[in-house]
Amino acid sequence: MSYGVVLMHDKKKFGGNPPKSWADFFNTGKYPGKRAIPGIPSDASPGALEAALLVDGVAPDRLYPLNVDRALKKLTSVRSSLVFWDTGARSQQLLESGEVSMAMVWSGRAYAAGLELFEHGG
């Protein structure tokens, strides 16, 4: 099985100026609100560490091997805004309920959530 992770956001919260990148996901000043990322116990799901490193200036072709300490430092910079999901269903539920304004979501769940409520971005 292959899948990707995408950035989803609640259209109602950001109107005509939605987040469009992982940098926006980490920009809590311009885009306030809670964000959801994978937090599956004993599983380092791909996505959150890579996004943190990209935002922190690591070139895509230099991501691996991951600098985990650097990635965790970047994630810690927005820790008070993070909510961790442990199932795909929970990631979708967090967005649908309005508990978070944006989330890192498995691509299949993003489409299941319905594009009429949320948009996914780069």
Tokens 């649908």 locate to 96
- Nearest CA among 45, 25, 117 for reference residue 86: 45
The C-alpha atoms of residue 20 and residue 51 are separated, in whole angstroms, by: 13
The C-alpha atoms of residue 122 and residue 107 are separated, in whole angstroms, by: 12
Q: For the domain 5-115, what is the CATH code?
A: 3.40.190.10
Residue 113: band (very low, low, confident or very high) from pLDDT cuts 50, 70, 90: low
Backbone dihedral angles phi then psi of residue 28, each to the nearest 5 degrees: -75, -15
The C-alpha atoms of residue 13 and residue 43 are separated, in whole angstroms, by: 31
Q: Per residue in 45-104, pLDDT tens?
A: 678 999 999 999 999 999 999 999 999 999 999 999 999 999 888 988 898 899 999 999
Q: pTM of the predicted model, to two decimals?
A: 0.84
